[in-house]
Amino acid sequence: MGSTSAHTNEGLGRRDLIKRSAAIGLISVPTMGFLSACASSDSGGNGKVEKGTKSEKNPLGVNESAPLDFVLFDGGFGQQYAKDAVKVYETNYPKATVKFTPTQKITTTLQPRFNGGNPPDLIDNSGAEQMDMGVLVGQKQLADLTPLLDAPSVDDPSKKVRDTLRPGIVEMGQFDGEQCWILNYAYTVYGVWYSQKLLDSLDAKYPETWDEMLAVCEKAKRKGIAGWTYAGKHPYYVPFSLYPMIGKVGGREVLDAIDNLEPKAWEHPAVKACFEAYYELVQKGYILKGTPGLDHIQSQTAWTEGKALFIPNGSWVENEAAKTMPADFGLSVSAPTGIDASDKLPFGTIWAAGGEPFIVPAKAANAEGGMEQLRIMLSESSSKNFTQSVKSLTALNGGTDGIELSPGLKSGVAALEKAGQNVVNPRLQDWYVALQKEKIGVAGIGEMMAGRATPAETIKKIQKYADEAAKDSSIKHYKH
Amino acid sequence: MQHGKYRFIVGFLAAPLALYALFVIWPFIQSIYYSFTDWTGLSPEFGMVGFDNYSRMLDDEIFWKSFQHSLILALVLPLVTVGLALFFAFMLNVGGRRRRGAAIAGVRGSSFYKIVYFFPQVLSIAIVALLFQFAYNPNSGAINSVLKGVGLGSIQPDWLGDPDLALICVMVVLVWSTVGFFVVLFSAGMASIPRDFYEAALLDGASRFTTFFKITLPLLWDTVQSGWIYMGILALGAESFAVVQIMTVGPSGGGPDYSTIVLPLYVYQKAFRDGQAAYATTIGVALLVLTLAFAAVVTKLGRRERLEF
């Protein structure tokens, strides 16, 4: 269905199908037929491979000759890092063959296989077609990764894998209870991204209070530069700096209440203060003109061209915007600006969290193999390889020593150091995708940032969406 | 000669009917069946939930929004597209000045225009949508640049980023990409209208306007009606899905503040993003009902006495 040119599974181009069926009502067939086409066939051949013998070199007991089936989302991070890790697996287990499938169509490729009961052994479930994790967990389709977390790490057998991970990685893989279903391989720093060079040319430094922020924007405006731009067509990028700001102003518990879908969570004064602060940017004309009609690439390009000072984004932006970013751009990230000195948390409070979620299906034939592949990827050498080639941190804590960091990455690491314990991790975007992206993001914050709704209206609207989600029995609810 | 007639018919019809049943009827039945379950689309297990999905759908604000937009598309698009196509086809075939002794002719250069009109039809709708997405870019897109170029720099709408304009923007693209097909269709229909009718009308001194409404339209009515239904179905189904999904904003399309969400897109979102395949089939059933109702109404309202000539 993602393909607009043809429903290849039906053997007819879409246009052909339509034209041949000028008869009444047939047009609904592609929509509905496709759904049924991937419907419940009985689980075919539930052949799990036999376990191998555990040893020091093989702590998970991988069957050394069993094939491994690995499906990777081929997105912003590309596929080379995973290919390199697969090579290590093949070296360690020469009798095993690895079937490696990079794809951008995760759901299209995998939904039928989950329905058929023969999913692959390891999946990077990411991208626009990401499968809903909550549903997968709820339907008991995922394997518990605890054996992996308790296995010794590749580099130091005296340490468990779980002790080598960055803060928050294990928690992000848990839903309720102790089991860990997901391992986020990348580690993303969210915040306000800017060009140090442009800021220097304005003779300004990164603002720590909102009054300073307004002053910097005013200065930029006088030089014909907009203060802010953002992915107007995907306004759910705005929370990357707005949510940690709420956390800084009102404390973590405000964000937790929002995640827990508590009634009136959005009516907290901190939320109101931050929404009003952002709305002030709109009203004073500090947002790049036309921003509500730009997508993420277009807004990033306008920003790298120096048309706007700040953009809320994640650390993938360095790789994604590399093509248009001048060499002397001086890419930097900062924790969000707060309101003033009365904020609950100090300046530096930042949002950082795992990204690029890897899963091992419960019905995988070679689940041990999938986990072993992950264990290899979490080794220091694989992690360094990833960091160097795609300019992003991994879940492995450290692993950046001795490699030259790109400017954005360096500034990300510095921001994390400055934040110390003050790292927040709002969970809305992995717990309630539709609520976060479409309702709060596009319909709520997007309309406010386009200047078409006031903060008060927006908060009321978002609170209503959150209340509806809390009542909706068709989605699974989670708590901190 | 009647001997064996039924065997003959059955022999020829069996295979197509079987295929039709397998690939058309059966998926419908299956979909309706799944709409009574809680199937997620991500695992083979599901249970029956009765009418839960349906009562949920009736309370679903977004469903009603998408229903409303689909309905607008189904009503407005055929009207505009078929109307424009009729006008173009008439001008191309009948509307020109008389010259070289021919009683009726199209406007000058009509064969060239025919190609121009038909051209969008050879482009995949995905490409059309992408092209227009660039054109609508508020900062560097063609449309706003043209506005600036002709001295209207103060008017720089956000186009797809503006909830009041987004649906109209989408409709314009759909009209642009489909009108050519109907021009060709109606041209073919007009070619089969006997020329002496037009000659007689000319002798009586009828204007183009009268000629169109008294001769062309009545004789073309069957073609117009099928075109109408076909366009309505396009507007309800795949064509609108593709354009909205590719062009408009949001995580998987749908426009700012749900301003362009349509039923097929909502089906897609529920099935492939939210892991609620059963609910998606329920919306699919609603789409089916709407499509059938549309076709039935148009057929009923459009029924006329058949003109013989």
Chain A CB contacts of B256 under 8 Å are 292, 442-443, 446-447, 450
Contact A1 B271 (CB under 8 A): yes
Q: Name the DSSP letter for residue B121.
A: G
In this prediction, residues B82-109 reach a mean pLDDT of 78
> CA-to-CA distance for A180 and A174, rounded, in angstroms?
5
- In angstroms, the Cα distances linking A422 to A192, A213, A344, A425 are 16, 21, 11, 10
Q: B293: domain CATH number?
A: 1.10.3720.10
> CA-to-CA distance for A386 and A400, rounded, in angstroms?
10
**B101 domain residue, yes or no:** yes
In this prediction, residues B63-91 reach a mean pLDDT of 93
Instruction: Please determine, for the modelled complex, whether the ipTM score is greater than 0.85.
Output: no
- Tokens at A377, concatenated: 């990827």
Using pLDDT thresholds of 50, 70 and 90, give the confidence band for residue A26: very low
**B20 domain residue, yes or no:** no
| Exposed/middle/buried for residue B55 (C-beta within 10 Å: 0-12, 13-18, 19+) | exposed
pLDDT of residue A12: 45
Residue A122: phi, psi to the nearest 5? -150, 135
- The set of residues, in sequence order, having a beta carbon less than 8 Å from that of B22 and lying 6+ positions away, is none
Contact B24 A140 (CB under 8 A): no
| Exposed/middle/buried for residue B209 (C-beta within 10 Å: 0-12, 13-18, 19+) | exposed
**B122 domain residue, yes or no:** yes
**B16 domain residue, yes or no:** no
Host domain of residue B222: 59-301
Choose among B44, B158, B273: nearest Cβ to A115: B44
pLDDT in tens, B3-39: 778 888 888 888 888 999 999 899 999 999 999 999 9
Nearest to B114 by CA among B172, B174, B180: B180
In this prediction, residues A15-22 reach a mean pLDDT of 44
Choose among B159, B238, B269: nearest Cβ to A14: B238
pLDDT in tens, A412-422: 999 999 998 89
pLDDT at position A6 over 80: no
**B34 domain residue, yes or no:** no
pLDDT at position A386 over 70: yes
pLDDT of residue A477: 87
pLDDT in tens, A216-237: 999 999 999 999 999 988 899 9
pLDDT at position A32 over 80: no
Whether the CB-CB separation of A295 and B251 falls below 8 Å is answered with no
Contact A292 B252 (CB under 8 A): no
**B6 domain residue, yes or no:** no
> CA-to-CA distance for B93 and B106, rounded, in angstroms?
4
**B284 domain residue, yes or no:** yes
Q: Dihedral sign, CA of B114, B116, B119, B121?
A: negative
Whether the CB-CB separation of A339 and A274 falls below 8 Å is answered with yes
Out of A6-20, A372-386, A464-478, B28-42, which region has the weakest mean confidence (pLDDT)?
A: A6-20
- Tokens at B9, concatenated: 């018919």
In this prediction, residues B183-197 reach a mean pLDDT of 89
> CA-to-CA distance for B234 and B171, rounded, in angstroms?
12
Chain A CB contacts of B231 under 8 Å are none
pLDDT of residue A209: 96
Out of A181-190, A362-371, B272-281, which region has the weakest mean confidence (pLDDT)?
A: B272-281
pLDDT in tens, A323-366: 899 999 999 999 999 999 999 999 999 999 998 999 999 999 99
pLDDT in tens, B196-254: 888 888 888 888 888 888 888 988 988 998 899 999 998 998 888 988 988 886 666 77
Following DSSP, what letter does each residue of A284-302 receive, concatenated? TT-BPTTGGG--HHHHHHH
Choose among A4, A136, A236: nearest Cβ to B246: A4
- The set of residues, in sequence order, having a beta carbon less than 8 Å from that of A124 and lying 6+ positions away, is A71, A72, A73, A82, A106, A185, A356, A357, A358
Whether the CB-CB separation of A48 and B44 falls below 8 Å is answered with no
**B50 domain residue, yes or no:** no
pLDDT in tens, B256-277: 888 899 999 999 988 888 888 9
Count structural domains, chain B.
1
- The set of residues, in sequence order, having a beta carbon less than 8 Å from that of B90 and lying 6+ positions away, is B186, B190, B208, B212, B216
pLDDT of residue A30: 45
Using pLDDT thresholds of 50, 70 and 90, give the confidence band for residue B163: confident
Contact B249 A117 (CB under 8 A): no
CA distance B272 to chain A (A): 7
CA distance B179 to chain A (A): 14
